[in-house]
Amino acid sequence: MTELLRSFVSIKSIQMRFIFLFIIYSAFSFGALAQTYEEFIEKSYDYLEKEDLTAAEESLRAAMRLEPANPYNYALLTNLGTIQRRQGKMDDALLSYSTALSRRPKDIILLGNRASLYAEMGETDKAIADYTFLLLEDPIEQNALYNRGILFLQKRDFLQAEADFDKILEVNEKTIYGRLGHAIMERMRGNYEESERIYNYLINEKPKDLQLYESRAELYFLMGKNARAKSDINKVMSESEPTASIYVLRGKVNLAQYEKESAKKDFLKAQEMGYDQTIINELLKMTE
């Protein structure tokens, strides 16, 4: 499940859309609002720029306490949920998103945020339900189609996943996400050569997209093409800040090449970076 969740469209873009959304509304509303309310909101942005998430959270709460009936509090709740999510307060974030949705139940950005949060929390069916409701409002929203398709893959519902990925290509033939979904799906089906063909095409089209190289490296590992896997991994690690997942993948490749000491170092590094301890424990046993 972890590998599939990493295939989700990044939440970062969603967060920025929320902040931008609020700025749009605030431009029309701040003139009529009490200055103190505005100041609390401005402070929250200042704290966000400083990465002081606790202070940003309290500033938004203070604004809402000051004007609990303000119609634009739904936007503050969405920002609050994102801030809480970044702090790992998943239950609090869920409450904030859900409260915002109770005020704007058909807002596709709010639905997308809660859906991705549900997915992160392992609530796959609830995430699918939110994406489905979102797609009733906007049937061609590509992020929702892609992410729902990935969730269907988690459930091994290949027909539904394929339908979502095909719909993306129908809407936008040039986007990578429809084909990326197919590449992941074919890998899960065991159709490795077809998956490799799609990854090669995507990398030829998007040679700077490092996530594609990491995904292809995972495929090469499954195919036993460890030298090729290592080449893709090295590219990712040399051109970006390495993640825990890439250390785990390199460790697995090292194990397959009987380089146990190198594998152990990679797994310990991933552990240090917060990777799932249960998985790390099992991998470390293989290095003994």
The whole-angstrom separation of Cα 215 and Cα 8 is 12
pLDDT surpasses 90 at 97 = yes
> What pLDDT is attached to residue 9?
57
> What pLDDT is attached to residue 38?
86
What is the band of 35 on the pLDDT scale with cuts at 50, 70, 90?
A: low
pLDDT surpasses 90 at 17 = no
pLDDT surpasses 50 at 23 = no
What is the band of 16 on the pLDDT scale with cuts at 50, 70, 90?
A: very low
pLDDT, average across residues 3-29? 47
pLDDT surpasses 50 at 27 = no
pLDDT, average across residues 156-176? 96
pLDDT, average across residues 79-93? 95
Q: Between vectors from CA 132 to CA 92 and to CA 179, what angle results, nearest 5°?
A: 105
> What pLDDT is attached to residue 36?
85
The whole-angstrom separation of Cα 78 and Cα 17 is 10
> What pLDDT is attached to residue 32?
41
Q: Is 216 exposed, middle or buried (0-12, 13-18, 19+ CB in 10 A)?
A: buried
pLDDT, average across residues 83-112? 95
34-43, 57-66, 72-81, 149-158: segment of lowest average pLDDT: 34-43
What is the band of 3 on the pLDDT scale with cuts at 50, 70, 90?
A: low
Q: State the SS3 of the chain.
A: CHHHHCCCCCHHHHHHHHHHHHHHHHHHHHHHCCHHHHHHHHHHHHHHHCCCHHHHHHHHHHHHHHCCCCCCHHHHHHHHHHHHHHCCCHHHHHHHHHHHHHHCCCCHHHHHHHHHHHHHCCCHHHHHHHHHHHHHHCCCCHHHHHHHHHHHHHCCCHHHHHHHHHHHHHHCCCCCHHHHHHHHHHHHHCCHHHHHHHHHHHHHHCCCCHHHHHHHHHHHHHHCCHHHHHHHHHHHHHHCCCCHHHHHHHHHHHHHCCCHHHHHHHHHHHHHCCCCHHHHHHHHHCCC
Do the Cβ atoms of 101 and 110 come closer than 8 Å? yes
Question: What percentage of the chain exceeds 90 in pLDDT?
Answer: 81
Note the pTM of the prediction, 2 decimals. 0.83
What digits encode the pLDDT tens for the residues 110-146? Answer: 999 999 999 999 999 999 999 999 999 999 999 999 9
What is the band of 178 on the pLDDT scale with cuts at 50, 70, 90?
A: very high
What digits encode the pLDDT tens for the residues 230-274? Answer: 999 999 999 999 999 999 999 999 999 999 999 999 999 999 999
